[in-house]
Amino acid sequence: YMDQKGFIDIETPYMVKFTPGGARNFVCPSRLYPGKFFALAESPQIFKQLFMVSGLDKYYQIARCFRDEDLRADRQLEFTQLDVEMSFVQREDVMEAIEGAVAAVWKRVAGIDVQLPFQRMTYDESELFYGTDKPDLRFGLKIFDVSGAVKNSEFKVFSETIAKGGVVRGLCAPGGGAFSRKEIEGLETYCKGVGAKGLVSLKIDEHGKPAGPSAKFFTDQHIAAVMGASQAKPNDLLLFVADEEDRAASVLGGLRLVLRDKMKLVKEGTFHFCWVVDFPMFEVSDDGKVGAKHHPFTSPKDEFLDVLEKEPMKVRAKAYDLVLNGVELGGGSIRIHQRALQQRIFKLLGLTEDYARDRFGFLLDAFEYGAPPHGGIALGIDRLAMLILGLDNIRDVITFPKTQSTVDLMTGAPGTVTEKMLKELHVKVVE
């Protein structure tokens, strides 16, 4: 498919120079250059951008990538991705190319005609309605916000949270009025386990009225507003979280998936693709440092260039993720192609001019030669195979996968090496 569309298949090096800004790298000590290391490529990112600078129009590669990260159901230390880059394109051009490729795979492998184009939603919409930037759209259960409706209620849990700048958001579980007290307590236990202060529940009786200990604190006006926002029907169950915005979103996003599984809301063999766009350009780490949400080569949206240094956390990026059934299938962006803008981003990320020159000088120099606007994406082929087969762990589609503790049970890797090898590599093991 990629060949037919004019893409050129080019291999890039696996042993590369360490550059900051992405995932944790695996490193290989150099025998000939004591104290220096190769890094195993976490992505062909910089190489494919250099291809575009050099005049190539469309590139792709089935690339192996290596990342020293904690494992989970959709992540391994080494994986395979479809890597793509295109010159003189905007976001929609990349999306259209990838939609066609994915649709071709689904048709050939699963015999399913995927509806095109895929749904689009912004990052803010995804977080608001689904509590995550990887929404599972195979079922409803949208999160709703009633902060404005209940801010003056006598229910202190709600009114005091809103007064402090927090929000009140909820989910409507269809038919959840049949849940037992123990089942509702189980949902509350889950919410508290992921950081919530509690979970407020209201059952809707056969007359369409909320029932429960907290119902008495709400006027008819409050109730009408809540019923309107939730679209609740008789015998439904309303579940509310009152907290600061980010926590309320993440807790309800997780609770939504718990309800999905508990209530069996998804039909087996269903696939729902969507693009999430307009991501924040930056994020703040646990230690308070500003970092790139995707990677430092992603371009900010043009309308935010004037406030890049003044209000970096408000800046939105020309970034996009392809999500399938609640799993991130791939991510991409329109790249920075101007040296001055790239240097501004490096500076914002805390890279000194000398350090940026040492690590990325070859890329900055390349931008001096008239780099075209370009963009691309990388799709996880292992994840794609996992999802199309209806599996829930990437290890099921990888030969000799690593365990959760990053061990290859078949070969016993990682293993020791000889003292002679360590000496040749100028490496000393410290206990």
Residues 203 and 274 in one domain: no
Whether 3 is in a domain gets the answer no
Cβ atoms of 127 and 133 closer than 8 Å: yes
Residues 304 and 374 in one domain: yes
CA atoms within 13 A on the CB side of 239: 33
Residues 326 and 291 in one domain: yes
Residues 282 and 402 in one domain: yes
Q: What mean pLDDT comes out for the span 91-97? A: 98
Q: Which residues of 356-395 are buried (b: 16+ CB within 10 A; e: fewer)?
A: beebbeebbebbeeebebbbbbbbbbbbbbbbbeeeeebb
Range of the domain at 222: 139-263
Residues 325 and 415 in one domain: yes
Q: What is the pLDDT of residues 228-267, one digit of tens each?
A: 999 999 999 999 999 999 999 999 999 999 999 999 999 9
The more confident residue out of 69 and 192 is 192
Q: What mean pLDDT comes out for the span 262-275? A: 96
Report the SS3 class of residue 300: strand
The end-to-end CA distance of the chain, in Å, is 51
pLDDT at residue 21 tops 70 = no
What's the CATH number where 255 sits? 3.30.1360.30
Rounded to a whole number, what is the largest CA-CA distance in the chain?
A: 81
Supply 158's token pair.
């709600």
Residues 113 and 186 in one domain: no
Cβ atoms of 143 and 253 closer than 8 Å: yes
Contacts of 267 (CB under 8 A, 6+ apart): 138
Residues 298 and 397 in one domain: yes
* C-alpha span between 233 and 229 (Å, rounded): 12
Query: Which position has the token pair 């950081």?
Result: 195
Residues 314 and 371 in one domain: yes
Q: Strands 119-122 and 144-145: what pairing?
A: unpaired
H-type alpha helices, 194-338 = 220-230, 245-263
Whether 130 is in a domain gets the answer no
Identify the helix (H) or strand (E) that includes residue 375. Answer: strand 374-380
Residue 210: predicted pLDDT = 87
CA atoms within 13 A on the CB side of 278: 12
Residues 274 and 258 in one domain: no
Domain final residue, candidates 201, 230, 263? 263
Whether 431 is in a domain gets the answer no
Whether 155 is in a domain gets the answer yes
Whether 394 is in a domain gets the answer yes
Q: What is the pLDDT of residues 375-431, one digit of tens each?
A: 999 999 999 999 999 999 999 999 999 999 999 999 999 999 999 999 999 999 988
Residue 167: predicted pLDDT = 97
Residues 254 and 277 in one domain: no
Task: For residue 290, give Cα distances in angstroms to 83, 335, 355, 359.
Answer: 27, 19, 17, 19
Q: What is the pLDDT of residues 125-162, one digit of tens each?
A: 999 999 999 999 999 999 999 999 999 888 999 999 99
Residues 256 and 277 in one domain: no
Domain final residue, candidates 263, 279, 307? 263
Whether 134 is in a domain gets the answer no
Domain count, the chain: 2
Domain final residue, candidates 236, 263, 290? 263
Residues 290 and 247 in one domain: no
pLDDT band, residue 287 (cuts 50/70/90): confident
What's the CATH number where 295 sits? 3.30.930.10
Query: Which position has the token pair 């000194």?
Result: 352
> What is the value of pTM for the model shown?
0.92
Contacts of 15 (CB under 8 A, 6+ apart): 28, 38, 39, 40, 41
Task: Provide, rounded to the nearest whole percent, the portion of the chain with pLDDT above 90.
Answer: 88
Whether 2 is in a domain gets the answer no
Whether 313 is in a domain gets the answer yes
